[in-house]
Chains A and B, each alone.
Chain A
Amino acid sequence: MLLSEDKEVQDAEPVSEDEVDELLVEEVSIDGMCGVY
């Protein structure tokens, strides 16, 4: 299993692979921007 798929790794402090991953993909809740009811 790739490190990037391991949920525990995802939730832990970023290791270098996750930091590199954040270069390409970032997730935000649709409720994650301020100025909404």
Chain B
Amino acid sequence: MPADGMPLRERFTQGLDAPICLTWELTYACNLACVHCLSSSGRRDPMELTPAEACHIVDELADMKVFYVNIGGGEPMLRPDFFDLVGYAVDKKVGVKFSTNGTRLTAERARRLAGMDYVDVQVSIDGALASTNDSVRGEGSFAAARTAMDNLAAANFGQFKISVVVTRENVTQLDQFSAIAESYGAQLRLTRFRPSGRGVETWDRLHPTAEQQRMLYHWLLERPDVLTGDSFFHLSALGAPLDGLNLCGAGRVVCLIDPIGDVYACPFVIDKEFLAGNVRGDGGFAAVWRQSDLFRSLREPQSAGACASCGSYDACQGGCMAAKFFTGLPLDGPDPECVFGHGEDALAARDAAAHPGAAVGHSKVDRHGTPIPVPTPVRFRTGALA
């Protein structure tokens, strides 16, 4: 315990004066249409932050001593000012990791990235085989991602990350993911599939079963070098805790800045229920982080509710807000994937009307405003992957 006796983990639930790191989605534009997209991306928002506004956010993050920003989207490399912004951030001592589908990570851009300091690259795949991956991310997306990885390797970029959202279909491929990462000297990252964005519609079908999650937990315990973004802390109720803070960081140590400057508790709760404010307001990002009603309430002790009598509540903290919210479960109750099955009971008991449907968000739509079917195939531009 620190000198004053409060455990660090408890202190973090009370929030900090500045995030430790945060997610920043640069654009809702995307050239893929993955079935589980947490941000329902596809169409660029007309109110997207300008390059100048984006640089101003970097200035604020630097002033607040935010060490690291996780840039994503949509597809962040679709922003015309992508390299300018990343360069500006690292010059101001805000380290950058950006997450990409790889379709725009050409050999030349890989070389450019290799020449930059303090930039981490994370390439997303959701299958160890093209068939598994493309059924979620679209035909051609696996090949594009592998080409991006090959480009990074050829450019001597160094260690990059390969990030996978664990699903019912790819959880049987963990060793293969490991092998792919090893073949590049890359770091493997596995993260939890939350029922967010377009994931609302696909979660029932694709989230891992209880048995699969137990297997995953034990696999992760044996591989402390695999990153998880602390996204499986709900599994820590199974035994020894996994690496990480093992707590929900939303609004406490992390948050999301979205492409139009909206600040949400985390990238998995893009919903007005979890909207804290907008960076374009007086006081910018700092005022939202420090003074918004939402974040203040998240930094209060949370009610265990139905979980209060469970001996494992301290380990799992009742799980993930996003998982509960988007499956229509109360926030003060079990996670839908509670390892003891309490979540399944709650889902069965839940009023069907409580389940939020998928919002269109920024998904691509046809001329009637109907979301087009996902996934959509990657259309390679001539020479785009040269």
Contact = CB atoms under 8 A, between A and B. Distances in A.
Interface of A: 23, 26, 28-37
B58 to A, nearest CB: 17
A37 B122 CA distance: 10
7 contacts: A29-B227, A32-B244, A32-B245, A33-B21, A33-B254, A34-B245, A36-B266
Interface in B217-238: 227-231, 233
Given A23-B2, A28-B245, A35 B255 contact: yes
Contact of A34 (B8, B99, B229, B256): B229
Nearest to B253: A33
Interface of B: 1-2, 8, 20-23, 25, 67-68, 70, 72, 95, 99, 189, 227-231, 233, 243-245, 247-250, 253-256, 265-268, 320
A34 B21 contact: no
B255 A33 contact: no
Contact of A36 (B2, B8, B22): B22
Contacts of B265: 35
B8 A33 contact: no
A26 B12 CA distance: 14
B250 A35 contact: yes
Contacts of B68: 30
A10 to B, nearest CB: 12
B189 A31 contact: yes
B97 to A, nearest CB: 8
Contacts of B231: 34
B345 to A, nearest CB: 24
Interface centre among B67, B254, B255 (most CB of A within 10 A): B254
